[in-house]
Amino acid sequence: MSPVMTRRHRRLTGLALLAVAAALQGGATDAAGDQLYPSGPPNGVAYIRFVNLAPREVTIVSPSAKIAIPADDQHRVGQFDAVTPGVALTGSAKLGEASKPIDLKLVPNEFVTVVATAEGANGLTLTVFRDVPTEFNALKSSLALFNVDKGCAQAQLVAGGSHMSVIAGVAPGAVGRRMVNPVKAELGVACSDPAQATPAKLGQLAAGERYSVFVAAAGASGHEVVAQRDEQALFRP
Amino acid sequence: MNALLAGLAVLIIGDSHMVTPNHLITTLHDDLVAQGATVDTYGMCGAVAADWIYPATVSCGKAERHGKEGPEIDRTANTPTYQIETLLAKHKPNLVIVEMGDTMAAYGQRDFPQAWIYQQVHALTGRITAQNIPCVWVGPPWGTEGTSYHKTFTRVKQMSEFLATVVAPCQFIDSTQYSKAGEWPTIDGQHLTAAGYKTWGADITSSLDQIAPQLEQRP
């Protein structure tokens, strides 16, 4: 088994445990009661993922599992794992000696992204993005811009040589989302002058897929952009 | 006989509407055979789209039928699931028909799990269309309200409208168009009477006749 496979398996196992623990805490009550056969997940579904935008590995610890999120671009964005809505998801994130608590409750159909950055008083900040998508379309691609940069007051996602605005006015700590045609476009993230956008390399967008673009602070006045297609773990009720 | 359906190798997969002898595994299957198609049908009771992609078990049985043979019903508990890629490789269909909706609509629950439905529907259609095989997705019929399935007309409508936007590049057949809500009697709220399955199968075949010219042929 390759190192990547080993690490991915560990991630899946860890987050699956987190999800199972959440379901158990919730009592797993079946609202349908005497239903003959299942139809849909009995407790609804929400999704959580962790993203590491710090320069070193971040560890997420839950009551039932511990996972490490590497700091390289290929692995720093975790996959969405299904959890039970309304159940407290507790734990902590650790970056070196720094630690921050995690205590979240998700609503049905919510996608929560917890982003760790190496900033703040003790060198670790968690930014929680809450997104309840209402539009799903297999003919379109869904683009989301997550602004993790406190110095970027109005982040925007621009496309093409003319820097056409795709998503605009995303404040720090907020997420903007838009459905677009599945095209191959040169995307970039700008905080002021669109002509100075930092590239967000997603390549050819695929119909029906969802993509995330993160902008974070880098250095004195620069911006770091991480962009990739969303991955979602399979969930069976 | 429809010239566009004649000669096609059709693979049908579905949920519990395909697992009992007088259900669609008989009526739709026979109708398409009568159109001149070569038909292989598989049903898994209670299965969701993901069950056709990732190995699992189904608790209330499965069935299959090939050509003019009779259906083979397996009511074994926790029987292994059929896998779509295995079926595609085995039958090399020119057209795949997916009948599914009731198992994912979360009847009896307040929240409609659209992200969960979307993920697995998109994954299943992706497996089929990755092989350049045209496909048609058949949504659920109205059923009847007030039973232990907790099926409601409102949720069936919601599910049908949602499927219509997420099954592409498969074509969508909205089964609620064939009758008024509650018009087709059921035996338990979800499963139709034998007469209902005969009507539903004939209506789907009629829709396929109309859709056939739009289906991209396999290269």
Domain ranges (residues) in chain B: 9-214
A139 with A127, same domain: the answer is no
Contact assessment for residue B12 and residue B19, using Cβ atoms and an 8 Å cutoff:
no
Contact assessment for residue A148 and residue A187, using Cβ atoms and an 8 Å cutoff:
no
- Relative to beta strand A46-52, strand A111-117 is parallel
Q: Is A111 left (phi over 0), alpha (psi -120 to 50) or beta?
A: beta
CB pair distance less than 8 Å for A108 and B111: yes
Query: Which strand (E) or helix (H) includes residue B89?
Result: helix B84-91
Residues B141 and B192: their CA atoms lie apart, in Å, by: 9
CB pair distance less than 8 Å for B115 and A136: yes
- pLDDT tens, position by position, for chain A (237 residues)? 333 333 333 343 344 334 433 433 333 333 344 555 667 787 889 999 999 999 999 999 999 899 999 999 999 999 999 999 999 999 999 999 999 999 999 999 999 999 999 998 889 999 999 999 999 999 999 999 999 999 999 999 999 989 999 999 999 999 999 999 999 989 999 998 999 999 999 999 999 999 999 999 987 768 899 999 999 888 776
A199 with A127, same domain: the answer is no
Cβ atoms within 10 Å of B126's Cβ, excluding its own: 16
Tell which residue, A44, A6, A8, has the closest CA to residue A231. Answer: A8
Q: Which residues pair with A206 in a beta bridge?
A: none
Please identify, among A77, A105, A132, the residue that sits at the C-terminal boundary of a domain.
A132
Quick check: is A224 in a domain?
yes
Chain A residue nearest residue B170, CA to CA: A138
Quick check: is A164 in a domain?
yes
**Using CB atoms, which residue from A33, A37, A133 is nearest to B60?**
A37
Residue B89: what pLDDT?
98
Total domains present in chain A:
2
DSSP track, B139-194: ------SSSTT---HHHHHHHHHHHHHHSTTSEEE-GGGGS-TTTS-BSSSSSBPH
Cβ atoms within 10 Å of B46's Cβ, excluding its own: 19
Query: Which strand (E) or helix (H) includes residue B209?
Result: helix B194-211
Cβ atoms within 10 Å of A37's Cβ, excluding its own: 18
Chain A residue nearest residue B116, CA to CA: A45
Contacts of B120 in chain A (CB under 8 A): 234
Phi, psi of B63, deg, nearest 5? -150, 155
A128 with A139, same domain: the answer is no
Chain B residue nearest residue A30, CA to CA: B109
| CA A177 from centre of chain | 13
Quick check: is A109 in a domain?
yes
- B47-50 own/partner pairs: CB under 8 Å, 24+ apart: B47/B15, B47/B81, B47/B100, B47/B103, B48/A236, B48/B100, B48/B103, B48/B104, B48/B120, B49/B98, B49/B100, B49/B104, B49/B117, B49/B120, B49/B121, B49/B123, B49/B124, B50/A234, B50/A236, B50/B119, B50/B120, B50/B123, B50/B124
Residues A165 and B98: their CA atoms lie apart, in Å, by: 39
Residue A11: what pLDDT?
40
CB pair distance less than 8 Å for A232 and B120: no
Instruction: Say how many CB pairs under 8 Å bridge A and B.
Output: 105
A104 with A161, same domain: the answer is no
Cβ atoms within 10 Å of A148's Cβ, excluding its own: 26
Chain A residue nearest residue B49, CA to CA: A236
Please identify, among A132, A164, A199, the residue that sits at the C-terminal boundary of a domain.
A132
Contact assessment for residue A169 and residue A154, using Cβ atoms and an 8 Å cutoff:
yes
Contacts of B20 in chain A (CB under 8 A): none
**Using CB atoms, which residue from B109, B119, B120 is nearest to A32?**
B109
Segments of chain B with pLDDT less than 70: 1, 216-219
Q: Starting from the edge strand earliest in sequence, which strands make up the sheet with A155-159, in order?
A: A164-170, A155-159, A187-190, A198-200
Contacts of A232 in chain B (CB under 8 A): 119
**Using CB atoms, which residue from A85, A207, A236 is nearest to B56?**
A236
A77 with A35, same domain: the answer is yes
Chain A residue nearest residue B45, CA to CA: A37
A83 with A172, same domain: the answer is no
From the number of C-beta atoms within 10 Å of its C-beta (0-12, 13-18, 19+), residue B118 rates as buried
A65 with A7, same domain: the answer is yes
Contacts of B16 in chain A (CB under 8 A): 37
- Which CATH superfamily includes the segment(s) B9-214? SGNH hydrolase (3.40.50.1110)
A128 with A155, same domain: the answer is no
Residues A131 and A175: their CA atoms lie apart, in Å, by: 7
- For chain A, how many residues are written? 237
Contacts of B114 in chain A (CB under 8 A): 109, 136
Phi, psi of A144, deg, nearest 5? -130, 140
Residue B5: what pLDDT?
86
Contact assessment for residue A155 and residue A147, using Cβ atoms and an 8 Å cutoff:
yes
Can you give the CATH number for the domain in which A158 is found? 2.60.40
Chain B residue nearest residue A141, CA to CA: B166
CB pair distance less than 8 Å for A208 and B126: yes
Please identify, among A100, A132, A164, the residue that sits at the C-terminal boundary of a domain.
A132
**Using CB atoms, which residue from B107, B122, B188 is nearest to A39?**
B107
A142 with A102, same domain: the answer is no
Quick check: is A237 in a domain?
no
| CA B163 from centre of chain | 12
Residue A37: which domain range? 1-132
Segments in A27-77 forming alpha helices (H): none
**Min distance B34 CA to chain A CA atoms (Å):** 33
Chain A residue nearest residue B115, CA to CA: A109
Residues A190 and A151: their CA atoms lie apart, in Å, by: 12
A128 with A140, same domain: the answer is no
CB pair distance less than 8 Å for B109 and A47: no
Contacts of A37 in chain B (CB under 8 A): 16, 45-46, 59-60, 103, 149
A13 with A118, same domain: the answer is yes
A158 with A219, same domain: the answer is yes
Interface of B with A (CB under 8 A): 16, 45-46, 48, 50-51, 54, 56, 59-60, 102-122, 125-126, 148-150, 162, 165-169, 188
Residue A38: what pLDDT?
66
| Interface ipTM above 0.85 | yes
Quick check: is A22 in a domain?
yes
